[in-house]
A and B are shown apart, each in its own frame.
Chain A
Amino acid sequence: MNSSTNQPATSAPLSDSAAKDTTVPIWLIVVLFLLVYWGAVYFDEHGGWFDAQVYTPYVSAEQVKDFQVSGGETPFERGRKVYASTCFVCHGPNGLGAPGTFPPLAGSDWVNEPQPGRMIRIVLQGFSGPGLKVNGQPFNTGSAMVPWASVLSDDDIAAVITYVRGNAEWGNKASPVTPEQVHAIRQKVASHPLSFTPTEIEGISPAE
């Protein structure tokens, strides 16, 4: 090897044939295996499996989920906060809405349906169009409810619907809603691009 380095013109074929005879040293293979092993362990500990919601210092989606401590608040209390940050702008602090423009939630026949299917759909995808009647009162001003699917999580939507449906101060006493119910309907309406219209939503069974 040493002598061949001093022969510029013919060194290439010589060193090639010399290289053919040498085997890869065993220590190199061991080092390579150790490197690959270290890489795999590092990936496992720090990669978060490419989950977009996992950042250091958390290592996995499960761990991030474990860290969601609600601070001891009930879904109803959480719903009160969601309502205060989103819904109350139109529906008012007391759920009374505005006559002819924004339908009331307090004592509404839509809110107090035994099954929450329609209400979850309305919150997820929004609601607009003529022909809406709440407790017999028409709401035909053309003001639309905005969709909240991209803004609120399943937990938040379940909480706020639970808050509205179970709000005794408003005269509502319908059953609470679970995040699982919201999640199931979110999957179903994912292909529904537009906000729901009154006729369309009345065609959907509330239990679905």
Chain B
Amino acid sequence: MLDSVLKSISAVTEFILSISTLISLFWGTIKQKKIDRNMAATAIVSLILLCILLFLSGKSEQFFWNSLFIHTSFSVHSKIILYCYSAVALFFLFSFLAEYKIKQFEWIFIAIFVVIGGSVALSSNHFLTLFIGLEMSHLSQYILVNADRDASNTNEATIKFFTINLISTGLMLFGVSLIYGFTGTGFFNTVYYFFESYSSNFEYAGAIVGMMFVLMGICFKLPIFPFHAWIQDLYQVSALPIILFIASIPKIITVFSLLHLLTYPFHGAFICWRYLLIGLAIFSMIWGSLMALRQQNLRRMFACSTVSDMGFLLIGPSMGGDFGLSSAITYIIFYTLNILGVFSLLIVFEKNCHRLNDIRDLSGIIKEMPLLSGIFCFLILSFAGIPPFPGFFAKIYILESAINRSAYFIAILSVLITVINAGYYLNVLKFFVLKSSALKINKFTLSEKYFVKVMIVLIIIALCGMVIFPLKLLEIVQSIAVSILF
């Protein structure tokens, strides 16, 4: 009895989440119109409970809902990671939104809808399910980024974000229709067999073109170099809690969807998408790093560095094999945790002095909050990928996968990019640690200061734990990678 319930749990995860969210939304509308501690707690607890349930559910492959949904080790584990990180991100979002005068309670639910959409995308077995999932999560994001709608330029950035992502949606849908037209199906497992049985006929070439469009659509959302134009403005004008959410959770969703696509339906066309991804990876690394190097604005710098880091991540899957795949998964696990830590600290800093725009606004904080500043330095160095900080360990797996395939050019290029990255991250440290300033710093005013501190420390402990005791993590990652490659 219990077994059968657990087995079907992944079919109804999204249902449970959506229904509970809708009920609390309804309740919130009737009762009050402010962010409520209980609502956020309910959402976070339900995410964690779903995590546990998913963890207990079997790992055998199953299909649900007319084979539109799939239950594999990959989907289960990626959803677990998504839910865990969403719980952390929602916690921060909830803790900080009120501080930014964004008191409407809907924002927290819109954020949950991002997670639900992502969850649908991650367990999809059909291009339409994937599309619906990704679109659902992105539609919620368009609303979310405009939460702070009284601030100047937010609307402009939102419209930019919306329009550019619409193009990506169009491209992706076009690609899906091409694939459907040439293969006659939209199911991943059938498309998988179509691509596996290579032939040089017209249908195959058409489906390849469709695949390219789908991948480009995904690259818009990551973002990867020529499709990145929305990210800088968005980061610059949005409120930091929103950026924290946008920079972390959609990344997980998109990266895992991309990995799912690459290794499941498009696996047979490895030779075709490999060079596309390598090219995109190289350009986004170079562009992202060089642009980040000359940014004076802290938020724009993080936006550019995101482009560079996502390019770095693409190297993993483009090297193929379970090693390349698991390296990318490890990287995104470390990277997102890092993002959550850095942005939550930036919010704490911003709430205690003034709006952080330029990098030089950071100076002077270290004297007032030495412990949190130490953690911030730790995370920045981790971003830069300098040993012995956690980010370095995430990077070496990707480098190792490149070396494994004798892709020396890419390996050398990516370590050079790492050096450039170190340059602008050290620039942050330069203003943060080495330069003093006579800024006026308020006392710690956050109402949830205790829990926020605890959560930040937990993030650090998790990062260090994954470095010092990496075996369990690597085991899980390896099992995910092997499971989707059969």
A and B bound?
Answer: no
B contacts, CB < 8 Å to A = none
